[in-house]
Amino acid sequence: MTERVFIVDEDIHVREFLYELISEVGFFALTLPGGRQALDRLKNERPSLIIIDHTSGEYSGIPLAQKIREFDKDVKIIMLGTEPQKEALAPQIKEMNISAYLKKDFDDPEIIKAILSVLKQESFIKPAGEKKWGRVLIVDDEVENCEMVNSFLSRRGFEVDTASSGEECLDKIRHSPFDVILLDITMDGMDGLLTLKRIKDYDPKIKVIMVTALQNKDILAESKAIGACDYLIKPFNLGILESSLISVFLSKEKKI
């Protein structure tokens, strides 16, 4: 049975965006314009996740979360609002066991990744073969790691190629288009940051996710400044990698 997600928001554009996102990753999305309708549905069914807006009113935000908890103490809840609201509501967010409070900024792939991460705690994304996400180039001089990631992503609906160096990466992108590059930072020859710069010089539209065992804030900041869209620390969970990639693909496809 397909897992269900309730999307509760007065803004029809938000409902439309989230409907497409949730449907895209294989869940059944049910849109509701208000909290009263959501509570009526909860009397008869239990979704995997409820996404609600934080606005004022008896049937929105924290008051709605409190009413949801009267029906179901365990269903996952994501609340959408602003950063100042998040800080002010921190105690109530914890008390209501809200899985995530996210800034309502759908141009930021981080919000998509965060929603996918919460869904991942249930059964997550469509089986391999149902969705083709796009072309990914893995750049890593560790052969075993390259093969493992290649095998996983190929099964999950990505078209994958590999390169063992920055030089090989640059040669491949000149001869074939890629949507996303997974780029290791520490490699023989040209390092990952220099490779990133060369990629962006060649085509600024290519999305690049940096992959490294180095937990270094300065390197993270430099990679972001050059143009990386995300940064994963080895060893990483393959599900987190998948969430990161899908968030990039969906943020490219959908704009609110």
DSSP category for residue 205: T
Domain for residue 126, yes or no?
no
Nearest to 51 by CA among 41, 42, 40, 38: 38
Residues 154 and 74 in one domain: no
Q: Does the model's pTM come out above 0.85?
A: no
In this structure, the number of other CB atoms found within 10 A of the CB of residue 84 comes to 8
Domain count, the chain: 2
Instruction: Please give the pLDDT value at position 124.
Output: 42
- Dihedral, CA of residue 33, residue 15, residue 256 and residue 51, to nearest 10: 110
Q: Which residues contact 246 (CB under 8 A, 6 or more apart)?
A: 25, 112, 113, 116, 125, 133
Instruction: Please give the pLDDT value at position 163.
Output: 95
Instruction: Tell me the HSE value of 220 on the side-chain side, using a 13 A CA sphere.
Output: 9
Residues 27 and 110 in one domain: yes
Two tokens, residue 127:
């089986």
- Nearest-5° Cα angle at 169, 168 to 171: 65
- Helix axes of 109-120 and 238-253: crossing angle, nearest 10 degrees: 140
Strands 207-212 and 230-233, bridge-based pairing? parallel
Residue ending a domain, choose from 85, 120, 155: 120
Residues 167 and 244 in one domain: yes
Instruction: Please give the pLDDT value at position 254.
Output: 56
Residues 87 and 151 in one domain: no
In this structure, the number of other CB atoms found within 10 A of the CB of residue 103 comes to 15
Query: Domain holding 91: CATH number?
Result: 3.40.50.2300
Two tokens, residue 162:
């590999």
Domain for residue 125, yes or no?
no
Residues 29 and 62 in one domain: yes
pLDDT tens, per residue, the chain with 256 residues: 567 899 999 999 989 888 888 887 778 899 999 999 999 999 888 898 999 998 888 899 999 999 999 888 889 999 998 766 777 788 888 999 998 898 887 777 777 778 877 876 544 444 444 557 789 999 999 888 888 899 888 888 899 999 999 999 999 999 999 999 999 998 889 999 999 999 999 999 999 999 988 778 888 899 999 999 988 888 777 878 888 888 888 776 655 5
In this structure, the number of other CB atoms found within 10 A of the CB of residue 205 comes to 8
Domain for residue 109, yes or no?
yes
In this structure, the number of other CB atoms found within 10 A of the CB of residue 199 comes to 25
Residues 207 and 165 in one domain: yes
